[in-house]
Structure 1
C-alpha cells in the first residue's frame, strides 16, 4: 500500500471515530441543556398551592421567572458547545498528526503548535457567520429563546386549565424532547466544522501536505446530491482532481448545516 493510500485509510477511520464522538457530544449537550427541567420543577414547586396546582393570578409572575430559566439554558448551552468545539478541534489535530506520522514517517507538528491551532480553530468557529447570518453564540441564544417560548405556551395552557404541577412537569419534558433536534443539529454542525477546520489548519502547517480533499458523507443524508458538500466533493477547482482544494479555502469548512463531510490530505510528491 502506498503512503497516500495508507494515509487515506487512516483518515477515513479517524472520521468514523469522530462520528462516534460527535454522537456522544450530541447526547451530552441534550443532557446539559435538559438540566433546566430540574430548575423549572423547583420553580413550579415554589408557585404551587397545597392542592398541587398554580393559581391563574400567579401566571404572569411565573412567566416572568422564565427569564431566569432562559438565562440558564444559554449558560448550559454555551458551556457545552464551547467544550464540544474544543474537543472536536483537539481530536482532529491530534488524530491527524498521528496518522501522518504513521503513514509518512515525517511531518509531525509540535505539541505547542497543535495547541495554537486548536485555539485558532475555536476562535474561528465561535466567530464564524453561518448561512443564517448568525455567529455561534447567536444560535445558542435563538435555541434557548425558542425553548423558552414553547415552555411559556405549555405552562400558560396548563395553568389556565388547572392542571397539576406533575402534569406540567411531564409536558415540560415533552417540550425538551421535541426541541432536541435543534440541539442535535447545532452540535453536529459546529462539532464537524471544528473537526474540518482543525484538519485544514493542520494541513497548512504541515510540510508534507500539498492539498486537501473533501469527502462527502452521503449515507447520513436524504437528498444528498443537493447538498453543497456533494457538489464540492465533485468539483475540480484547481485541475488537481475532484474535491481537491487549498487548505485555506474556507468554503469546505462548513458546506451546509448538519454536514458531516470530512477532509483528507494529498501528500506532497516528495513524500509519496
Structure 2
C-alpha cells in the first residue's frame, strides 16, 4: 500500500469519526427536543383535566391516562425515525471512510441490517430495547398519576370524616391532600421523561449512541477487512472517554503481536466493549506492524501488570484489583463479576489448602464423579497437578466464551443456539470442570496429610 493511499484512509477515518461525534450530538439534541415537547404536552394534558381546585379526580385520571398513551405513542414514532436515520448515516460514514461510494452503499446497508437484528448477551435486539424504554416510561408515569390521585382521594375522604366529627385533620392526612395536584403531577411526568438519571430521554440517547456507534464500526470494519494489505483493527479510546474501565485494557494489550490494542480480525476484535461506549476502531495495515510489535506479544495478565495501578483498578474494580495485587486473580476472572470471582477463588483455594470440598467427599463416598476419583488416584503428583492446570485453563476459556461467545462460534450462529451455549451448555461444562478440579485438589490434600 502506498503512503499516499494509507494517509488518505487515515484522514477519511478521522473525518468519519468526527462526523459520527457530530451525529451523536445532533441526535442528542433532537431527542431532547422530542422528549421535551412530549413532557410539555403531558403537563398541558394533566392541567386541562384538573378540576377547579387544581387536583385530578378518579374520573379525570382515566382521561389523562388515555392521553398519556397517545402522547407516548407519538414520541415513540418520532424517536424511532430519528434512530433509523442515525443508523443509516452512521453506517454510511463508516463504510465511506474505506470504500468508494458505489462499494460503500451495500456495505452500509448490510451493517444497518446487522445492527437491527443483533442480539446482545442479554438476549435483546434494538427493537426490544426501544420497546422497554417506552414500556417503562408509560408504567412509571401511569403509576405516579394513579398513586397520587388515589392518595389524594383517600386523604380528602378522611379529612371530611375528621371534620364531620369536629376533629382537626391530622398533619399526615393534610399533607397528602395535594397529592393529586395537577402542577405537581405535571412536574413528575416531565421529570420521568427528561430529568437527570434514568429518564426516558437518557435511556433513548444511550441506545441511540450505542447503536450508531455499532453501525459505524461494523460498516467500517466490513469495508476495511477485505483490503489485501489488511493486518487488523486497533481499539482506540475516545478523548472523551469518561473514566478507566475495561476499554483501557482492550486498547493496551498486545495479544497477537500486532501492537497495543490491535486485533487480527473482526471476530477477534472485542469492540464495542459495552453499551454507550466512547471507543472506536481503525484499520492497521501489514507494513505498519513493527518488529517491536511482534516481539511484544503478551497475555491479558501481562498487559494488566503493565497498566498503572489507578488504570488497573478502573479496569478490574477495587475488589478484583486487590485480588490481582495478591496474585489470586486468574485470566478468566478479568471480566467476571466480583461475587463469582470471590466464590471461585474460595472453592479453588479450599481444594488445595483447606478441607477436602463437598464434591470430593461425595465422590469419595461413591457418589457423583466416583469413577473419575478412582482413575485419578492412580496418577502421580505431577500428572494430577498438570490436570489441575488443564482444568483451570478450560474453566478460564469457558468463562471467556460466556462473556464473548463470538470468540468461539463466530457471528453467524443463530441467536437461539448461542443463547443455549451461554446459558446452559458452557455453565454446565464449567460446573463439571470445577467439580473435577476440586476432586484433584482433594486427592492432593490427602497425600499432603498422609491420609491417601
CA distance in 2, matches of 1:221, 1:162: 39
Equivalent position of 1:102 in the other structure: none
Name the structure, 1 or 2, with higher relative contact order (CA <8 Å, separation 6+). 1
Equivalent position of 2:124 in the other structure: 134
Equivalent position of 2:79 in the other structure: 77
Change over 3 Å in CA distance of 1:76–1:132 after alignment to 2: farther
Equivalent position of 1:28 in the other structure: 30
**1:198-254 CA deviation, whole Å, 9 max, x = no partner?**
2101103445534221212264222x2x32x32322233432222222443275342
Structure 2 unaligned segments of length 5 or more: list them.
153-177, 289-452
CA distance in 1, matches of 2:229, 2:23: 27
CA distance in 1, matches of 2:27, 2:226: 28
Equivalent position of 1:114 in the other structure: 104
Equivalent position of 1:176 in the other structure: 193
CA distance in 1, matches of 2:268, 2:123: 16
Moved more, 55-64 or 79-88: 55-64
Equivalent position of 1:197 in the other structure: 218
Tell me which of 236, 244, 247 is aligned to 1:215.
236
TM-score (ref. length: structure 2): 0.50
Moved more, 141-150 or 201-210: 201-210
Alignment of 1:52-131 (within 5 A): 52-60=54-62, 62-63=64-65, 65-94=67-96, 96-97=97-98, 109-131=99-121
Residue 257 of structure 1: how far off its partner (Å): 1.0
Residue 9 of structure 1: how far off its partner (Å): 5.8
CA distance in 1, matches of 2:12, 2:80: 32
TM-score (ref. length: structure 1): 0.78
**Bigger radius of gyration among the two:** 2
What is the RMSD of the two structures over their aligned residues, measured on CA atoms? 3.1
Would you say the 8 A contact 2:233–2:283 is kept in 1?
yes
